[in-house]
């Protein structure tokens, strides 16, 4: 590991294109018990603001051509592979799994991003047979809106990419709430305005139920 893990640690939440929030919630090294960082503990009001920011970013992101979204999401995959060793060390520090297994998860997680980046170009509609000779039924697929992605502590990289990558690929924006025990790995995802990041115990319920802008 030729680059210090500390350079990867961000201790705020990412909302509307900027890092915000007072770091108060400790994140510990699972081997030593030492505090390696603190992150904000957002409540309902801050989470609603994050959802509103993601909703505001939806028109611009959803109107991009599929190949443009594909190219942007693919860049996420490239960055994960390029920095796999550093991300693995960060994941091990906050989650506790062996380093080799952590790197395996990073590459596994990157695979979801690569797959859905390519699938972004293949979101096809359908022409459905009808009972009238002079009519057609056409089905098109469109983004539903803001997606809330709540992820567990045991796979802090893979479960993020498995939920966030397909949502972004099809044109949705995302509010991501990683587990409070392992929030640091997700903070190294690309800093895009159409992806908000929140942490804190109260965020889970707020992401799930509190905003009509959140559609999935």
The answer to whether the beta carbons of residues 117 and 169 sit under 8 Å apart is yes
**Of 190, 211, 161, which Cα lies nearest the Cα of 53?**
211
Ordered structural domains, the chain, with CATH: 12-209 (3.40.605.10)
pLDDT tens for residues 122-141? 999 899 888 888 888 999 99
Sites in the chain below the pLDDT cut of 70: 1-8, 190-191, 193, 200-216
Residue 7, class by beta-carbon neighbours within 10 Å (0-12 exposed, 13-18 middle, 19+ buried)?
Answer: exposed
pLDDT of residue 64: 94
d(CA 133, CA 45): 54
Phi and psi at 147, nearest 5°, equal: -105, 130
Beta bridge partners of residue 127, listed in sequence order: 138
């Amino acid at each position: 590991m030729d680059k210090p893990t500390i350079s990867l640690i961000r201790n705020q939440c990412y909302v509307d294109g900027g890092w915000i929030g007072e770091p108060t919630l400790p994140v510990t090294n699972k081997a030593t018990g030492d505090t390696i960082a603190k992150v904000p503990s957002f409540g309902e009001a801050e989470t609603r603001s994050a959802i509103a920011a993601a909703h505001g970013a939806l028109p611009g992101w959803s109107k991009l051509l599929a190949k443009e979204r594909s190219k942007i999401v693919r860049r996420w995959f490239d960055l994960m592979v390029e920095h796999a060793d550093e991300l693995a060390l960060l994941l091990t520090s906050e989650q506790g799994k062996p380093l080799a297994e952590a790197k395996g998860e990073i590459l596994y997680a990157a695979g979801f991003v690569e797959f859905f980046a390519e699938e972004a170009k293949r979101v096809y509609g359908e022409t459905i047979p009808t009972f009238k000779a002079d009519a057609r039924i056409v089905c098109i697929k469109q983004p539903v809106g803001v997606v809330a992605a709540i992820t567990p502590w045991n796979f802090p990289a893979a479960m993020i990419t498995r939920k966030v990558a397909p949502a972004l690929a099809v044109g949705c924006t995302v509010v991501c709430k990683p587990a409070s025990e392992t929030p640091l790995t997700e903070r190294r995802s690309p800093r895009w305005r159409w992806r908000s990041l929140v942490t804190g115990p109260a965020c889970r319920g707020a992401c799930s139920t509190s905003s009509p802008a959140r559609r999935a």
